């Protein structure tokens, strides 16, 4: 009769040197699933006794009993072993009672630094024919994936701290001092000592009011077989206590325990988790070939693991994917070209969504994106009926109406990219259909969710003049519509959202340069309130630019959509010594978030709560109506010029 943790009849064994925490239990469970018998050695006061349930043998030792550890492994025929879990470093100086073999080992060391101790232990075991393998060998999914894992992104100040702190952490790593440091405004507040990561966070965080950046990175000479940096839910809890804002860890070289819980807690606390790959050490540590080629106990040729669990870098998913939550909405994305692919990626990283499938008439593109986000590829959107609760429709504008109509008629909620439709009649029908079926219809006016706009919007108070410039390099995408419906429509939406006043008049001018439709346009919008908005859009520019300027009483705001920066300029109440107005400026602190991800989160929330979406069908219709009026004005002007000359206007006309 075998124990719960014994692999019946497999004959494959691996040793486990188990410290504290959940890592040894996770390793033992993964080994069991892979068909191993685990012979574990734990330490009194450190190792969780529950480990005994998952292993075939469990030996509980005192710290320092090295001879008994080796004897336990040799008597069990162990030739490969792993170290998992931490040892309280303070106990090394207070409660360790080394046996004669451990004393000899310690006397050889120049110091008691982590690397020195662990390397010496590994060498001692290998002298007895027991090879130390990577602790992540069976658990590669615990390693942190590259990217920003949270909704909040680092702002400019924090990014400067991240870049500076990363170099400091790597430099300190050569001294084998610690893996963690805390800083703010490029001033180091705390460096990890023997007290550990959480204590370091608290020490450093208390030295600044809030906004500290925490860096935890591997040392350049670190042996990742047995000394892998680790973070978890407790890390976020410590950061929350001192109002730290950013956690930075190393991709592929940091263990993330309770990852889902950790990310959820960070999102709730407004903490950013950045997983960064070290450019100076791109190569992954290879797994020794003989580990997979030979049996540990009999020298045979049966592989210990049928397939190496560590994926090659080229096979890793390019996006961070989270498991759907228990109440996740079933989602489909229709149209996964340039923008639709990003929709699919955002859904895949949100636990509120279960991405059922992606659809595209280009079957190769559909399969590529489906593989990237680990879902099903389809070529006909009608196959989603009955399988999804909601969809994103990210197709060319001429197809918006027919596809959205079909999904709404099937009772499926719709996030419809801008422009909403080609005509007002089509927009009216979709609005009526959504109301009749009780469906959410949200329109994808993305700049509403831009961090720079979100930063200035709460400060607006009856603005009287607005100016927007939206310039882009020429791109073949979106040429089925003119520059108004392609680019300017974003600024039309922002202006209408801010002004909340009836539109009195529109004066527009534009030109067709590279296409048969207007490629550049300028518009003056006047409102009943007396406010004025000037908008300029071009898709044939020599640079990309997306800026908004707003003027109101004694104040001026500027939002740079692309660079996520916002400024305010104020007229002070007191004049200077010469009687001239005094001016003060402020760079507004921005809470950086991904606009598309925020738009999708808002859509999912509207579907769950049945609340009106941030940009509903009626708002989308109003924006479309203004955009079509502008297009018509410019088209009539261009037609008049063509009628006079009998040909398209030249550059010199």
pLDDT at residue number 379: 96
- Supply φ then ψ for residue 334, to 5 degrees: -105, 115
Q: How, if at all, do strands 565-575 and 581-587 pair?
A: antiparallel
Question: CA-to-CA distance for 131 and 126, rounded, in angstroms?
Answer: 5
Q: What pLDDT, on a 0 to 100 scale, did the predictor assign at position 641?
A: 66
pLDDT recorded at residue 91: 60
Compute the distance between CA of residue 123 and CA of residue 118 in angstroms, rounded to an integer: 9
Question: What are the CA-CA distances from residue 559 to residues 370, 516, 526, 546, 598 (Å)?
Answer: 36, 32, 21, 9, 18
How many CB atoms neighbour CB 186 within 10 A? 13
- CATH architecture of the domain with residue range 13-139: 3-Layer(aba) Sandwich (3.40)
* 244 phi/psi in degrees, rounded to 5: -70, 150
Q: Give the integer Cα–Cα distance in Å for 649 and 653.
A: 6
Specify the 3-state DSSP secondary structure of 19: coil
Q: Distance between CA 177 and CA 222 in Å, rounded?
A: 12
Query: Which residues are CB-neighbours of 104 under 8 A, at least 6 positions away?
Result: none
Cα distances (Å, whole numbers) of residue 16 to 19, 40, 42, 47, 55: 9, 5, 8, 11, 9
Give 397's DSSP letter.
G
Q: Are 62 and 44 in contact (CB under 8 A)?
A: yes
In the three-class reduction of DSSP (H, G, I as helix; E, B as strand; rest coil), residue 213 is classed as strand
Residue ranges in the chain whose pLDDT is less than 50: 1-10, 282-317, 650-653
- Domains 13-139 and 329-446 belong to one CATH topology: yes
CB 163 within 8 A of CB 154: no
* CB-count burial class (<10 Å; 0-12, 13-18, 19+) for 171: exposed
Closest C-alpha to 388, from 415, 368, 369? 415
**Count of alpha carbons within 13 angstroms of residue 192, beta-carbon side:** 25
> Sign of the CA dihedral 178, 180, 185, 188?
negative
**Which strands make up the sheet holding 131-133, listed edge to edge?**
57-61, 37-43, 13-18, 80-84, 131-133
Residue closest to 498 by CA, chosen among 470, 524, 527? 527
Q: What is the DSSP string of 568-623?
A: EEEEEEEE-TTSPEEEEEEEPP--EE-HHHHHHHHHHHHHHH-PPPSSBHHHHHHH
Helix ranges (H only) for 111-187 are: 114-126, 156-173
Q: Between the CA of residue 444 and those of 394, 415, 459, what are the distances in Å?
A: 9, 7, 24
Q: How far apart (Å, rounded) are the C-alpha atoms in residues 29 and 49?
A: 14
Residue pair 32/38 in contact by the 8 Å Cβ criterion: yes
The rounded distance, in Å, linking the Cα atoms of 522 and 612 is 32
For residue 521, give the nearest of 532, 500, 506, 504 by alpha carbon.
506
Residue 67 region, left (φ>0) first, then alpha (ψ -120 to 50), else beta?
alpha
> Taking the CA of residue 168 as centre, how many other CA atoms within 13 Å lie in the half-sphere pointing to its CB?
23
Helix/strand/coil for 624: helix
DSSP label of 334: E
Peptide bond into 129 cis (omega under 30): no
Determine contact, residues 23/88, Cβ cutoff 8 Å. Answer: no
d(CA 181, CA 173): 11
* Strand pairing report for 272-276 and 246-250: parallel
Write down the architecture of domain 448-593+624-629 according to CATH. 2-Layer Sandwich (3.30)
Distance CA 470, CA 483 (A): 10
The superfamily in CATH containing domain 329-446 is NAD(P)-binding Rossmann-like Domain (3.40.50.720)
In CATH, the number for domain 143-281 is 3.40.140.80
Domain boundaries, the chain: 13-139, 143-281, 329-446, 448-593+624-629
Between CA 238 and CA 424 the distance in angstroms is 54
* 3-class SS letters over 46-71: CCCHHHHHHCCEEEEECCCCHHHHHH
């Amino acid at each position: 009769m075998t124990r719960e943790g014994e692999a019946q009849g497999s004959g494959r064994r691996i040793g486990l040197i188990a410290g504290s925490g959940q890592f040894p239990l996770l390793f033992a469970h993964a080994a069991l699933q892979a068909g191993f018998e685990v012979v574990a050695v734990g330490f009194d006061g450190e190792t969780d006794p529950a480990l005994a349930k998952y292993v075939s043998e469990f030996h509980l030792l005192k710290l320092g009993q090295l001879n008994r550890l080796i004897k336990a492994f040799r008597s069990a025929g162990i030739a490969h072993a792993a170290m998992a879990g931490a040892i309280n470093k303070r106990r090394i100086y207070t409660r360790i009672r080394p046996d004669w073999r451990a004393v000899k080992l310690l006397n050889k060391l120049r110091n008691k630094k982590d690397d020195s101790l662990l390397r010496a232990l590994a060498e001692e075991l290998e002298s007895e024919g027991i090879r130390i393998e990577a602790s992540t060998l069976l658990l590669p999914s615990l390693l942190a994936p590259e990217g920003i894992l949270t909704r909040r992104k680092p702002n400019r100040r924090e990014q400067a701290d991240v870049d500076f702190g990363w170099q400091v952490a790597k430099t300190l790593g050569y001294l084998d001092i610690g893996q963690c440091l805390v800083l703010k405004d490029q001033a180091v507040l705390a460096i990890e000592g023997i007290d550990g990561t959480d204590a370091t966070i608290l020490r450093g965080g208390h030295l600044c009011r809030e906004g500290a950046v925490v860096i935890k990175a591997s040392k350049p000479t670190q042996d990742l077989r047995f000394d892998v940096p680790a973070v978890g839910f407790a890390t976020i809890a410590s950061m929350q206590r001192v109002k730290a804002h950013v956690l930075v860890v190393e991709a592929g070289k940091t263990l993330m325990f309770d990852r889902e819980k950790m990310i959820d807690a960070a999102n709730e606390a407004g903490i950013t988790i950045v997983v960064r790959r070290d450019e100076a050490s791109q190569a992954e540590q290879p797994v020794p070939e003989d580990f997979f080629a030979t049996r540990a106990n009999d020298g045979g040729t049966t592989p210990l693991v049928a397939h190496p669990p560590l994926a090659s870098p080229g096979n890793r998913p390019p996006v961070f994917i989270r498991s759907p939550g228990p109440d996740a909405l079933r989602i489909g994305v229709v149209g996964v070209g340039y923008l639709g692919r990003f929709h699919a990626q955002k859904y895949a990283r949100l636990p509120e969504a279960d991405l059922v499938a992606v659809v595209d008439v280009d079957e190769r593109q559909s399969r590529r994106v489906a593989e990237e986000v680990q879902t099903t590829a389809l070529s006909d959107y009608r196959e989603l009926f009955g399988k999804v609760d909601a969809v994103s429709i990210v197709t060319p504008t001429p197809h918006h109406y027919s596809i959205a109509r079909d999904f709404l008629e099937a009772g499926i909620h719709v996030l419809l990219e801008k422009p909403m439709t080609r005509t007002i009649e089509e927009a009216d029908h979709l609005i009526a259909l959504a109301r009749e079926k009780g469906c959410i219809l949200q329109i994808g006016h993305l700049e509403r969710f831009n961090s720079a706009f979100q930063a200035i919007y709460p400060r607006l108070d009856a603005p009287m003049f607005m100016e927007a410039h939206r310039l882009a390099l020429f791109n073949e995408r979106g040429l089925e519509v003119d520059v108004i419906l392609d680019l300017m429509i974003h600024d039309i939406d922002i202006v209408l959202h801010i002004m909340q006043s009836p539109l009195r008049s529109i004066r527009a001018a534009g030109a067709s340069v590279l296409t048969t439709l207007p490629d550049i346009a300028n518009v003056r919008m006047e409102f009943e309130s007396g406010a004025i908005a000037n908008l300029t859009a071009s898709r044939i520019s020599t640079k990309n630019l997306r800026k908004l300027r707003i003027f109101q009483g004694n104040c001026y705001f500027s939002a740079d959509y692309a660079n996520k920066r916002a400024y305010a300029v104020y007229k002070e109440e007191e004049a200077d010594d010469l009687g001239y107005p005094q001016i003060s400026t402020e760079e507004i602190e921005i809470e950086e978030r991904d606009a598309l991800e925020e738009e999708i989160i808002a859509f999912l929330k509207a579907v769950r709560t049945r609340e009106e979406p941030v940009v509903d069908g009626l708002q989308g219709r109003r924006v479309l109506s203004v955009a079509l009026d502008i297009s018509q004005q410019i088209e009539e002007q261009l037609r008049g010029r063509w009628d006079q000359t009998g040909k398209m206007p030249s550059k010199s006309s």
